[in-house]
Amino acid sequence: MWSFVLAEDSRLKKNPALDVSGRVLREYFGGQLPISPALSTRAMNDEIVRDDSCVKTMAHLLEEEEFRNFQNICREFQVIDADTIPAVVDSALARQITYGKSDWQALQKKICLYSPGKSKKLGT
């Protein structure tokens, strides 16, 4: 396994949403934990309970769901906390999606996230 660090500069900014993930991972490396598939699950659990970072939000969303406040859930819940739009980069997959013949796993492998705000800011 290779490990590397990217230097932040005017074109490459640190994503603050990854701070907790980074701290958890650094603790694992510092503790010399062996890298395994089970460690991924443990890391997600550790991130969720770290400083109650997600526990309160999850409880709130479950309460909203119980009361069928789906518009609030839609507005408040984001898997990716950013102004991004998924873009399909494979024309064959795009055709499959058009006809309802694809699944989330294929989509996950062949999309990229496009940020109109960042694109406009960078002039691209």
In tens, the pLDDT along 76-92 reads 887 665 677 888 888 99
User: What are the mean pLDDT values of the chain's consecutive 10-residue runs (124 residues total)?
Assistant: 74 80 88 88 85 78 88 78 78 89 83 74 58
Contact 70, 62 (CB under 8 A): no
Residue 67: the pLDDT is: 87
Q: What single-letter amino acid sits at 71?
A: Q
